Chains A and B, each alone.
Chain A
Amino acid sequence: MAIEIENQEKDGDCLIKVTGEVDLYTSPELRGAILKADPQGGTSLGVDLSKVTYMDSSGVATLVEGLKTAGQKRVEFVLVSPSPPVMKVLQLARLDTVFEIRDTM
């Protein structure tokens, strides 16, 4: 599979773990997972990007959408350990400072 997505929940917080490549073909799957995530009683929605080997602007757009919808749900949106390819595309897009980025949740 080009992409694998795993949903985890802990104390009401959601963590979406992504493995593989995020491009026009695979980003709809990530988008769906982010939009479906609904932290119940928790305060955070995290996306673990440590195992992402490639991301393009469709992946970035998915993360931006996640940030916006999390804000509407009054939930914190966190990028957890973005891999170098993810940081690179965020930097090129001048969006590396708009996200909350952490090593762990």
Chain B
Amino acid sequence: MAKQEIRVELLSDPRLLKAIRGLVREYTAGLGVPGDQVAEVVLAVDEACANAVRHSYNLKKDGQIELRLCAEPGWLEIVLRDQGIPAPVERLRRKATSAPDKETLTPGGLGVQLMYRVFDDVEFQPGETQGNCVTMRLRLSG
């Protein structure tokens, strides 16, 4: 399989999340990923985008978000960048609990945990003073 890449730039408008889900759904399904897993990837990327809209840009609709979908033999890699407020590191940690965590449902907290549960590797890189970058990787079989 040759490397397959799509890059999109979007403004931080929550109305656009549905269109991005459609793009990610078609792209991931096109790689031959099974349907259940496609739905999980769509969810996790939607969570990442929603966090950029809600937290990086505080729901302002003029922030820049950059999404890069990239597939090479064996790996799907999705990178999301924004130029907004860097996320606090405490919010980005993977939680080890397997118990129901209704009490700890912090704003944006659940989305980050869903990203960790869907992807094989998730790396957050908040900027020193501005911006965020998250790289999500999934092993592809076959």
| A residues in contact (CB < 8 Å) with B | 2, 21, 23-25, 54, 56-58, 60-61, 64, 67, 85, 88-89, 92-95, 97-98
Tell me if B110 and A25 are in contact (CB < 8 A). Answer: no
Tell me if B17 and A92 are in contact (CB < 8 A). Answer: no
Report the separation of the CA atoms of residues A67 and B46 in the bound assembly, to the nearest whole angstrom. Answer: 24
Report the separation of the CA atoms of residues A67 and B100 in the bound assembly, to the nearest whole angstrom. Answer: 14
Using A57-B111, A60-B110 as known contacts, say yes or no to A92 and B117 having CB atoms under 8 A apart. Answer: yes
Answer whether residue B80 sits at the interface, using C-beta atoms and an 8 A cutoff.
no
Answer whether residue B3 sits at the interface, using C-beta atoms and an 8 A cutoff.
no
Using A60-B110, A97-B100 as known contacts, say yes or no to A24 and B43 having CB atoms under 8 A apart. Answer: no
Using A93-B110, A94-B100 as known contacts, say yes or no to A23 and B105 having CB atoms under 8 A apart. Answer: no
| B residues in contact (CB < 8 Å) with A | 14-15, 17-18, 21, 39-40, 43, 46-47, 50, 53-54, 97-102, 105, 107, 110-111, 113-114, 117-118
Other A-B pairs, 18, CB within 8 Å; known A57-B50, A89-B114: A23-B46, A23-B50, A24-B14, A24-B17, A25-B14, A25-B17, A25-B18, A56-B43, A56-B111, A57-B111, A60-B105, A64-B105, A67-B102, A88-B40, A88-B43, A93-B114, A94-B98, A97-B100
Report the separation of the CA atoms of residues A89 and B53 in the bound assembly, to the nearest whole angstrom. Answer: 20
Pair count A-B, CB < 8 A: 62
Q: Which residues of B contact A85 (CB under 8 A)?
A: 39
Residue from B50, B101, B105 within 8 A of A56 (CB atoms): B50
Q: Which residues of A contact B118 (CB under 8 A)?
A: 92
> Which partner residue on chain B sits nearest A2 by CB separation?
B18
